[in-house]
Structure 1
Amino acid sequence: MRRDVFQAIADPTRREIIGLIAKKPMTPNAVAESFDVSRQAISKHIKILTECGILAIRPYGRERYCSVQPKKLAEIADWIEPFRNMWEDRFERLDDIIDNLKKDKKNG
């Protein structure tokens, strides 16, 4: 089953897993050591992240390493970008209003 990237990042544990693995590729066991949940629970999270294409698992010798797939994360960033721009514009306008109120108070 192919999962949606937004479904995958909806879970805070999965977002934390992405953050860990983004720093450096890790084995599933190394990822599990960073959490206070069962190894099976982490494996399920990793499976979901792999199914949606955010993580890839590749064998290196006897170990399997998880790595982040930046292209999938770019999809998320591309979707968020218009909203970020909208909020930045709104905050800039709010800053202008506050500055004008301060000037009015100072001059009044």
Structure 2
Amino acid sequence: MQRDLLVKFAHALSDPTRTEILMHLRSRPGYPSELAESFGVPRQSISNHLAELRTSGLVDVIREGRRSRYELADKRLGPLLDNITGLMLTVGPLAAGKNR
């Protein structure tokens, strides 16, 4: 069970655009068209990534009339992403003094 949850989370982070979406949503909600323009990615691609993030349970969609606003499903995700980044800067291949 725990393994499957971690695999699902890792899969969500495995795509640079999905990771960028999650990092953006740490600070504020986002709309597909604004995310697409901000990242220079086609809107359909953003919509597909948002659907994947929704399926994984990481983002929620809030309907606002004809628009859809996306936000992190849990406020703990923002600090978690920051902690993962900090950890990887300490122990990962880009860490100071690491020769990999």
| TM-score, normalization by structure 2 | 0.64
Please tell me whether the aligned partners of residues 26 and 77 of structure 2 are also in contact (alpha carbons under 8 angstroms): no
In percent, how many aligned pairs have the same letter?
34
* Aligned residue number for residue 90 of structure 1: none
Q: CA deviation at 1:50?
A: 0.7
- Which sections of structure 1, spanning at least 5 residues, go unmatched? 88-108
By relative contact order (CA 8 Å, sep 6+), the higher-ranking structure is 1
Matched, 1:30 2:45: no
More helix by share: 1
* Aligned residue number for residue 21 of structure 1: 25
Alpha-carbon displacement from aligned partner over 1:61-97 (angstroms, at most 9, x marks no partner): 33210001226738x67xx6xxx4xx5xxxxxxxxxx
Alpha-carbon displacement from aligned partner over 1:17-59 (angstroms, at most 9, x marks no partner): 1111221111111111112221111111111111101111111
* Superposed structure 1 runs of 4+ greater than 6 Å apart: none
- Which sections of structure 2, spanning at least 5 residues, go unmatched? 1-6, 92-100
* Aligned residue number for residue 91 of structure 1: none
Distance 1:53 1:71 in 2: 13
Please tell me whether the aligned partners of residues 59 and 71 of structure 2 are also in contact (alpha carbons under 8 angstroms): yes
Matched, 1:5 2:9: yes
Distance 1:24 1:6 in 2: 22
Please tell me whether the aligned partners of residues 4 and 52 of structure 1 are also in contact (alpha carbons under 8 angstroms): yes
| TM-score, normalization by structure 1 | 0.60
Distance 2:23 2:75 in 1: 15
The alignment's C-alpha RMSD in Å is 2.7
